[in-house]
Structure 1
Amino acid sequence: MYKKLLVAYDGSLSSKSALKEALVISASFDSYITIISVFDLPTEIFGISSLESEKIESELFTMLLNAFEQSKEVNKKINAFFATIAGDNATYTNIESNEKIQIPKKVNSPDHAIISFAEFLKPDLILIGTKGYNRVINVGSVTIGVIRNAPCDVLTIKNYKEGKFEEKYKNILLAFDGSETSINALKRTISIAKKFKWDITAIHVYPLLTEINLFSSVHTKEVLLQTSKHILERAREIAYKENYPIYTHSGGFGDPAQYIVNYAIEENYDLVVLGTQNPNTVKKVLIGSIAYRIISEADFPVYCIPTKSSKKVL
């Protein structure tokens, strides 16, 4: 299933958790792990001297090297690349062989560098922490940037949880709205749940719009709730065709991100799954805000499945 894993690493606690999770997944699937760290610190923007910039770059490289060497003691099937951005280009250096790779694609930010490398490497899964170490750049935005444009599935990790991969993810909560994106996510989730006999709950929440709340009649709200019911019936039909029963839950009206986080915590779900797609400018704002809030407000991992990904696993 997961033959290639790509881990974004910057020395933060959440990136260390992502690397630990990659080692756990590798143990279950015999995966090859590639770690990537990206250095991008424009001195002219942040007013940092060249000497201080070199010091920060050296610190990041040392953290990557230490993580690589420690991980290699656990799993020999691992390598690591240190990416540096200069202008609109990135150079990826294998820290063990010193081999350098340049990908002919415009790169001007850490998330662009990670995505470009992922398109080159073709991993089955990208693992990334939810909040980075960098003292200058808001690395949370890097996570969202990766989710928006990833060519494969993305697993975000905040806090590492001990246990085997197949044992610690037993109860899965999947956001479902009947769209092609959520249908794809449901089918993919079922494909791996069959292997480990996981429980899946599809959840639907109508956004609490001012127009609905203030001006709509009781009848209109009832119609929308019936629509929500039909959407979840669609999820059950898909699961039935996949020969895998699921649970469903309607959250009624509310803030989808907040409701999903609260419900996942209250019901002790181990993992939340979100379907994503390669968005246009407007959808980027919506996807970014919902995903960011779920990722930032919850301690549980969030698994994002892009529509354009063709992988056969979760």
Structure 2
Amino acid sequence: MYSKLLVAFDGSNLANKALRHAVELAGRYDAKLVVIHVYEVPILNSGDMLIAAPEEWSRQYADHSVKVLDSAKSQVPSERGAEFKLLQGNPAQTILETAADWGADLIVMGSRGLGGIREFVLGSVSHNVVQHSKVPVLVVK
């Protein structure tokens, strides 16, 4: 039924749960599995100007993201042969683009991540992915 599963992983409790579901599904269908973590370095707004975050912030976001992806790697059995990708960009858009480029036939993700107030204002990543995906999306609660 499924041959390529893409898991969006942000390190939250629900992302961990979604990853477990994806590993189980991949085993059941002998599917390929790719786990991605997408991080976005903020752009600062100062009145009429947008200011790129300091380089140090970019490094800190990248370093933290490596740890998040390492957490995912530790949860996937090595015999599963999963791929792990660290990507930078808008999370929903990057998840959708990666799924399309890779030819995923299912996206698996948690219903709520670590977005906080940004999620409240802009809408959740999972909601955006569900609304715009061309393939089925399994949202784990």
Structure 2-normalised TM-score? 0.83
Match of 1:32 in 2: 32
Q: Which of 112, 116, 119 is matched with 1:131 structurally?
A: 112
1:111 and 1:142 in contact (8 A); partners too: yes
Match of 1:72 in 2: 77
Displacement of 1:69 after TM fit? 3.8
Separation of aligned partners in 1, 2:42 and 2:57: 12
Separation of aligned partners in 2, 1:150 and 1:15: 18
Q: Which amino acid aligns with 2:68?
A: M
Shift in CA distance, 134/54, structure 1 to aligned 2, threshold 3 Å: farther
Displacement of 1:135 after TM fit? 5.2
User: What percent of counterpart residues are identical?
Assistant: 27
Larger radius of gyration: 1
Q: Which of 78, 95, 98 is matched with 1:114 structurally?
A: 95
Separation of aligned partners in 2, 1:59 and 1:134: 15
What is the DSSP-based 3-state SS (H/G/I as helix, E as strand, rest coil) of the residue aligned with 1:44?
strand
1:4 and 1:32 in contact (8 A); partners too: yes
1:10 and 1:134 in contact (8 A); partners too: no
Matched residue pairs, number? Answer: 134
Match of 2:62 in 1: 57
Match of 1:19 in 2: 19
Shift in CA distance, 84/10, structure 1 to aligned 2, threshold 3 Å: same
1:50-92 CA distances to partner (integer Å, 9 max, x unpaired)? 423422331122110231243133x43210111113xxxxxxx
Match of 2:88 in 1: 84
What is the DSSP-based 3-state SS (H/G/I as helix, E as strand, rest coil) of the residue aligned with 1:126?
strand
Structure 1-normalised TM-score? 0.39
Q: Which amino acid aligns with 1:121?
A: W
Q: Which has the higher contact order (CA 8 A, sep 6+)?
A: 2
Q: Which amino acid aligns with 1:51?
A: E
Displacement of 1:24 after TM fit? 0.9
Show structure 1 runs of 4+ deviating over 3 A.
45-50, 134-137
1:101-133 CA distances to partner (integer Å, 9 max, x unpaired)? xxxxxxxx2111111111111111100111112
Structure 1 residue ranges without an equivalent (≥5): 86-108, 159-314
2:6 and 2:104 in contact (8 A); partners too: yes
Separation of aligned partners in 2, 1:153 and 1:70: 24
Displacement of 1:136 after TM fit? 6.3
Match of 1:43 in 2: 43
RMSD: 2.2
Q: Which amino acid aligns with 1:56?
A: Y
Task: State how 1:1-314 maps to structure 2 within 5 Å.
Answer: 1-45=1-45, 49-73=54-78, 75-85=79-89, 109-134=90-115, 137-138=118-119, 141-158=124-141
